[in-house]
Amino acid sequence: MLKIGLTGNIGSGKTTVAKVFELLGIPVFYADDEAKKVMVTDEILINSIKQTFGAGSYFDDGTLNRKYIAGIVFNNEAELQKLNAIVHPATFRAFDNWLQQIKHAPYVIKEAALMFESASYKMCDRTLLVSAPLENRMARVMQRDNVSRAEVEKREARQFTEEKKRQLADDIIVNNDWQLVIPQVLELHTLYLSLAKN
């Protein structure tokens, strides 16, 4: 089965693009949502988190102590990398399990913010980048999350630059305020359907 990796920097609109593919009947795996799930369901991961960050990582009822974890990894790049290094493999496992359940789709999409940073693009046949001008992205996230520009810039700094991602991507959808997204998705959908047949 053809696997398409969908990514984009913060505020690019990759989730919107993923939803359009879903409307076309294409299954989408949302890696970032799944990462949150596996942190409370994947026993191997839970044990790794406890060993790495301490028993305080989880409450007695098994839920993740997000505030505790955030306190450790926030503003600490080395600790954040440690967390990502144990969460990403669990998310990859969840993707493999999810794929087993997909029977009749011509292709699937894996949507992930850190696809290139985590090297998970290597598990996909093609990669699709949703690209948007920096000012558009900043404005969208500030409005959506009700945060300051400085906060958005901090999140942006944790990701590869869009220029670097453009070099790595096979396909690009431009999501600025004057080019229509749906025709771009439909064109790629046609391409992916033909690639899936071969």
pLDDT band at 77 (very low <50, low <70, confident <90, very high): confident
Residues 16, 92, single domain; the answer is: no
State how far the Cα of 145 lies from the Cα of 152, in Å rounded to an integer.
Answer: 9
Residues 138, 164, single domain; the answer is: yes
User: Per residue in 130-158, pLDDT tens?
Assistant: 999 999 999 999 999 999 999 888 888 88
Find the domain containing 113 and state its range.
1-27+107-198
Taking residue 193's Cβ as centre, other Cβ atoms within 10 Å add up to 14
User: Per residue in 14-54, pLDDT tens?
Assistant: 999 999 999 999 999 999 899 999 999 999 999 999 999 99
The CATH number assigned to the domain holding 14 equals: 3.40.50.300
Mean pLDDT in residue range 91-102: 93
As a whole number, the mean pLDDT across the chain is: 93
Are the beta carbons of 162 and 155 closer than 8 angstroms?
no
pLDDT band at 76 (very low <50, low <70, confident <90, very high): confident
Residue after which a domain boundary falls, among 101, 128, 143: 101
